Structure 1
Amino acid sequence: MLTFDRRTMVSLSCLLPLGGCATLARPSGGTVQLRRIAVEAPFAMPPVTAPDFGACPLFSITDHGASQQDQRRTQAALAAAIAAASRAGGGTVIVPPGTWPTGPVHLLSNVNLHLADGAVLLFSDDPADYLPAVQTSWEGIECFNYSPLVYAFEAENVGVTGTGTLQARLDRWSEWYDRPPAHMQALVELYTMARTGVPVDQRQMAVGQNHLRPHFIQFNRCRNVLLEGIRIEGSPFWTVHPLLCRDVTIRGISIRAHGHNNDGVDPEMSENVLIEDCIFDQGDDAISVKSGRDMDAWRLAAPCRNVVVRNCTIRNGHQLMAIGSELSAGIENVLVDNCHFTGDGKGADGWAVPINNLLYVKTNERRGGFVRNIHMRRVSATTIQGSVLGVETDVLYQWRTLLPTYERRLTPIEELHVSDVTVQQAGHVVRILAKAEQPVRDVRLTRVEVAQVAGEPAILQNVNGYAAAAA
């Protein structure tokens, strides 16, 4: 029989139905209910469907043999509890207070992984623990690679909730931050496999010195995803990555990940995504909306659309909101609302990265795709090195010298709307660098105030339809 102390029971209160939502008429997955979250946006944003595990039975990992002194036993217990919850048609797997060492956690349909208050899942940094390889991706190209630390593939009604912590050991992964020749050659090989149509299951990258780090959390081809309340500490690579998902709710989480490529949330080729009430303390972009790289994205043809980010705080990060650069399947209907960059450029512990832009659209001549109907409103920031709005169409990073342009496809960018923004200091108010053959179209800034501008306020290269208004 399951028994919990008061602290655990308080933590379980977040399993109650989501506020402000209407229950769907039909249940899903036995005891899992579905709720529709209405989201206001300046585009036709459908309600986001989220799973509600409030009526689900509980499965404690301690009942399945978890041990705070034994990683293998804890990992096996997590897998057993998840399997039992899924077989039951729906269930919540409880991680009680304490530090629990583990390897990768693979979620199944109709399962919620719930971390009680005071619970820490401490993930190994031994790459061998993350084999066999699973179907995942690397910077917009599909492949088989080391398993993400928390992973779900083709799952429905899946969640990670609670007030506990997911923490990544980083000693080994941080050794992989460097990009030696073997790693760069692996990137060339992966790109070449995608370009020549090699099946994804033959793109085996978790070998040799390739050193492609895993994501922390990846939901791959999932539907009705809930990530709520938890704290995430450290990450080998991108932190939260919904890939080819539909109906994703990320609310009230806190991320502190200061490593290389440590984006906060990267919705990629996903639809109907709500990110709200979160705190980001990142070594890279806070949020970056993506839709795949070049040939692989053209093959999958799954635009990323209907993404709303609201009521979030950014303490560190290169961009508040990045669009791209992996955007070859197209991105449309994105709203950033009531979000605030509060960092002072020093960080609470003496560590910080400079925030470059509040809204930054980046692409290059290889991407194709499209960007349209992007909105940012009611945003504030302290000091940013770049611009309130930045657009660059020649961002290639290391790929500029790694590979030639095999197929040239420019990216149409249009309908960028920024309003009610206040910034203490910025390099520019707006900086758009586009190509003459593919101008950026229909850009509007309304009530954007920067107290101190270090450079030229507006740099506009090849922009058709630009307007800036005080009201």
Structure 2
Amino acid sequence: MRSSLIISAFLIIFCLQSLAKVGAPISPLVAPGTISANSATLVWNKPEVYSDVVRYHVILNGKEIGISAKTNYTLKNLSPLKTYTCSIKAENKLGELSAGSTTLKFTTKASGKILTVTEFGAKGDGTTVNTVSIQKAIDACPKGGTVRIPKGIFVSGALFLKSNMTLEIAKDGVLKGSGDTADYMPFINNRFEGWEMKTYASLLNAGVMNNKGGFAVEQLAIKGEGTISGGGGALGKAMIDQNGIRSRGRLICLMNCKDVEIQGLTIKDSPCWTIHYIYSKGISCHDLNISSTARNGDGLDPDSSDDSYIFNCTFSTGDDCIAIKSGKNPEGYTIGKPTRNVNISNCVFTRGHGISIGSEMSGGVSDVLVQDCTAGALLHGMQIKGTKDRGGYVKNVTVADCQLLKITIFSAVNYNNDGAAAPEPPVFENFVFRNIDLSKAPTKEPVININGFKAEGHKLKNVVFDGVKLPASAEIKVNDALNVKFKGMIIDNGTTPKYVVQDSENVQHQAK
């Protein structure tokens, strides 16, 4: 009888815990910088238990107004200066709806004046350099206003944006970066590959870099249905030839900015990194098509910045698709500005080196979520990378519900390792890889290859792989690690992967 009571009590507690997990509230928020007079974009977390969730219902002012299979939704046709309440309900495979999420309240902005650059003398003929005319429109833009690039190809050199404005590239409109390096002078204070230095200006610039903190530009939007196109590899090569490889500008560079939205655009042909933001907070990049072929042609680089939301984007790049950074070696370690809270979801990565954290991560990186993404044959797949000289840390990273072709954690890279070392090696810890489809991964190299640092106290630690589909003949390598658990590693033909474990402790693996 006593044992039956104990079992019954255990079952009751288990059921209550399960109900608590199922009932864990969805918590929607407005993605930073996305509130305008007529729209706002919501993002939310999945319920704690979500395996049977098929879609979400969006409730606005008590009325259902939309359905989304993703964990984001853009509200349109809103009224200016009106307060709205909204919530989210999850729907399961049986068509049952959850209780409503926590309620979110926000107020739209006032309608602003629209200035078209042609009113200031700009010509969309594809040859006229319009830097002066477009900058005049930006400088004249009132608070809450919009500068519009209409249909046509508007060539320009470096432009400098400001707070409380929108730069809109209209459908069939192109903001085209000049191919002349003189159009990106004078040099500005910037950061590249982890070091603060002077570089050419970018095509679009916002803010002034200051590692002591504060925000130079707030409430900025760069959006539309058009295209931002740079000078590409040819401009990058010209910048290298004149002032060295680290002199190149970006296509879009934000420095000490807060609450910025980059949305809807095709963004291509950067001379170097495509979108780079430094010492910033609350940056939302969504519904973008980003492509590059230039040397070091990263797609998007959050750098010593907090609260990034990157979703519904497509990447095809000549280097890392996304590279999360925070400075390099002693300088980055001393400045000590981490990148925190990066949420990457519903993105497609068709070409490039990887979805990356590092290699410049000396200020620290934490609380990264990569979810519901699909990756093609990226050179290194989903990768976390550094060197023993970097210092800093990478911790609390979750990769879930993704289709990938490789997972790598590197403790050494054969590039960008010049300069003095930080005072101690990095710490890599607390990583979760859950519900990952690696079944199409090539098997000439390890499908999962994870490595820590050899120094005492710096082994990779606390890593979980849970529910990973693997190809036949898959190999998994683990080096210099502590507390690594593999569970639910699935191969369709019923075989088990080959584990190669070296200089590691407490590495556990099971098929189911």
> What's the TM-score, normalizing by structure 2?
0.71
5 Å-filtered alignment, 1:256-405, equals 256-319=291-354, 321-341=355-375, 343=376, 354-381=377-404, 384=405, 387-388=406-407, 390-399=408-417, 402-403=418-419, 405=420
Match of 1:442 in 2: 462
Whether the aligned pair in 2 keeps the contact of 1:292 and 1:327 (CA below 8 Å) is yes
Match of 2:131, SS? helix
Cα displacement string for residues 11-61 of structure 1 (whole angstroms, at most 9, x for unaligned residues): xx99731144899xxxxxxx999999999xxxxxxx999997672221111
Distance 1:281 1:145 in 2: 25
Per-residue Cα deviation, 1:86-112 (whole angstroms, up to 9, x for no partner): xx2221111101111111121111111
The counterpart of 1:244, out of the listed 279, 296, 299, is 279
Give 1:154-165 correspondences, 5 Å limit: 154-165=216-227
Following the alignment from structure 1 to structure 2, what is the Cα–Cα distance between the partners of residues 362 and 84? 44
CA contact (8 A) 1:50 1:226 kept: no
Equivalent residue number for residue 131 of structure 2: 75
CA–CA distance in structure 2, aligned partners of residues 263 and 37 of structure 1: 36
Q: Does 1:425 align with 2:460?
A: no
CA distance 1:50–1:213, shift in 2 (3 Å): farther
Q: Secondary structure at the match of 1:425?
A: coil
Long gaps (5+) in structure 2: 1-34, 44-59, 62-79, 89-102, 208-215, 489-511
Displacement of 1:68: 2.4
The structure with the larger Rg is 2
| Identical-residue share of aligned pairs (%) | 25
Structure-2 change in CA distance of 1:447 and 1:222 (3 Å) = same
Change in CA separation of 1:398 and 1:289 when aligned onto 2, cut-off 3 Å: closer
Superposition RMSD on alpha carbons, in Å?
3.1
Relative to structure 1, is the Cα distance of residues 407 and 371 closer, same or farther in structure 2, using a 3 angstrom cutoff? closer
What amino acid is aligned across from residue 330 of structure 2 in structure 1?
A: M
> 1:266 is paired with a residue of what secondary structure?
strand
Higher RCO (Cα < 8 Å, 6 or more apart): 1
Q: CA deviation at 1:176?
A: 4.9
Distance 1:272 1:296, change over 3 A: same
Counting only pairs closer than 5 Å after superposition, residues 162-201 of structure 1 correspond to structure 2 as: 162-170=224-232, 172-176=234-238
**How far, CA to CA, are the matches of 2:36 and 2:196 in structure 1?**
34
Q: Tell me the CA shift for residue 210 of structure 1.
A: 5.9
Q: Tell me the SS of whatever aligns to 2:137.
A: helix
**1:149 counterpart = 2:203:** yes
- The alpha-carbon distance between structure 1 residues 272 and 123, as it changes in their structure 2 partners (threshold 3 A), is same
Whether contact under 8 Å (1:238, 1:266) holds in the other structure is yes
From the superposition, tell whether residues 215 and 49 of structure 1 become closer, same or farther in structure 2 (CA, over 3 Å). farther
Q: Which residue of 2 aligns with 1:97?
A: 151
Contact 2:199 2:246 in 1 (8 A): no
Q: What is the SS of the residue equivalent to 2:249?
A: coil
Contact 2:84 2:107 in 1 (8 A): yes
Shift of 1:259: 1.7
Question: Structure 1 length as normaliser, TM-score?
Answer: 0.77
CA separation in 1, counterparts of 2:158 and 2:387? 35
Distance 1:14 1:69, change over 3 A: same
